[in-house]
């Protein structure tokens, strides 16, 4: 669990007292990168500029619904989302889970329960990913351990940036990963201006994993949004 304590968590609630209580509780448990926001606008700004690993969303916000905000977040990132709200009616829960939320906590709640749920969700989301050694394509294997692509008769090395990008795509396999998310993964918070460089790296990765890089089957461009790694056997 210790390796997960450096993950960035975002708490979104229009009641700042609640945000601060939850932030303090997470910090006491060893999480040191906890952000807070009290509006949809501020939330999206943070997500665009920080590599957030998990979001906790209130449903009632001053400039919109947390349900609508969830959809806006999904246009940027696929990180796990927990709804934390006083709206505990069955229809509200169904709406939240129907959107794809990973958990739904109703106020009032126990702080310890909140911490345990956050820790469990982080474990489910990231431990498997971080312990993975790679993945298989029909005629080759991508190895995270050796930073290479293995064919029957040769081994093709991956650069550090190529490895970072392909792991990010694999973590979100069969889902669209935005250009911003890929750039942030490879170049950190100061990722602006790297879009053209990203395209170059994607072309190089395609040459290594595709039989026909000009007609890709696995690393697909989603025009104007980003890329998707299509893994049929996963």
pLDDT digits (tens, 9 = 90+) for 191-208: 667 788 899 999 999 999
pLDDT at 129: 59
Over residues 90-101, the mean pLDDT reads: 72
Is residue 234 domain-resident? no
pLDDT band at 213 (very low <50, low <70, confident <90, very high): very high
| pTM value > 0.85 | no
Clarify whether residues 114 and 163 are in a common domain: no
Which of 196 and 88 is assigned the larger pLDDT? 196
Clarify whether residues 39 and 60 are in a common domain: yes
pLDDT digits (tens, 9 = 90+) for 39-69: 999 999 999 888 898 999 988 899 988 889 9
Over residues 92-101, the mean pLDDT reads: 73
Clarify whether residues 143 and 85 are in a common domain: no
Lowest mean pLDDT among 92-96, 152-156, 204-208: 92-96
Clarify whether residues 120 and 159 are in a common domain: no
What sign for the dihedral angle of Cα 18, 20, 22, 24? negative
Query: Across the strands, what pairs with 81?
Result: 55
- Which of 77, 99, 130 is where one domain is finished? 130
Number of independent structural domains in the chain: 2
Is residue 144 domain-resident? yes
3-class SS letters over 166-233: HHHHHHCCCCEEEHHHHHHHHHCCCCCCCHHHHHHHHHHHHHHHCCCCCCCCCEEEECCCEEEECCCC
- Which of 102, 130, 158 is where one domain is finished? 130
Given a contact cutoff of 8 angstroms between Cβ atoms, the answer to whether 57 and 81 are in contact is yes
Clarify whether residues 99 and 115 are in a common domain: yes
Clarify whether residues 17 and 124 are in a common domain: yes
CATH number at residue 175: 1.10.10.10
Q: What average pLDDT does the chain have?
A: 86
**Torsion angle of C-alpha atoms 199, 203, 205, 210, degrees rounded to 10:** 140
CB atoms within 10 A of CB 108: 6
Domain that holds residue 138: 133-229
Is residue 13 domain-resident? yes
Cis amide prior to 108 (ω within 30 degrees): yes
Clarify whether residues 110 and 141 are in a common domain: no
Is residue 19 domain-resident? yes
CB atoms within 10 A of CB 58: 24
Question: What phi-psi label fits residue 134: left (phi over 0), alpha (psi between -120 and 50 degrees) or beta?
Answer: left
CATH number at residue 14: 3.40.50.2300
Given a contact cutoff of 8 angstroms between Cβ atoms, the answer to whether 17 and 54 are in contact is no
- Which of 109, 130, 151 is where one domain is finished? 130
């Amino acid at each position: 669990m210790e390796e997960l304590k450096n993950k960035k968590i975002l708490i979104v609630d229009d009641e700042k007292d609640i945000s601060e209580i939850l932030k303090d509780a997470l910090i006491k448990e060893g999480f040191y990168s906890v952000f807070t926001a009290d509006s949809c606008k501020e939330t999206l700004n943070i997500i665009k500029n920080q590599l957030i690993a998990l979001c906790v969303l209130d449903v009632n916000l001053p400039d919109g619904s947390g349900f609508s905000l969830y959809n806006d977040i999904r246009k940027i990132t696929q990180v796990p989302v927990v709804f934390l709200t006083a709206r505990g009616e069955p229809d509200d829960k169904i709406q939240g889970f129907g959107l794809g939320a990973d958990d739904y906590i109703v106020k009032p709640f126990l702080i310890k329960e909140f911490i345990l749920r956050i820790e469990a969700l982080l474990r489910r989301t990231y431990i498997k990913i971080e312990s993975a050694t790679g993945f298989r394509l029909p005629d080759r294997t991508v190895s995270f351990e050796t930073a290479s692509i293995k064919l029957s008769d040769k081994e093709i090395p991956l650069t550090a940036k190529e490895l970072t990008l392909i792991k990010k795509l694999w973590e979100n396999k069969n889902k669209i990963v935005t250009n911003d998310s890929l750039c942030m993964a490879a170049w950190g918070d100061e990722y602006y201006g790297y879009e053209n460089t990203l395209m170059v790296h994607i072309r190089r990765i395609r040459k290594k994993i595709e039989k026909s890089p000009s007609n890709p089957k696995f690393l697909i461009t989603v025009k104007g949004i980003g890329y998707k790694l299509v893994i049929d056997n996963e």
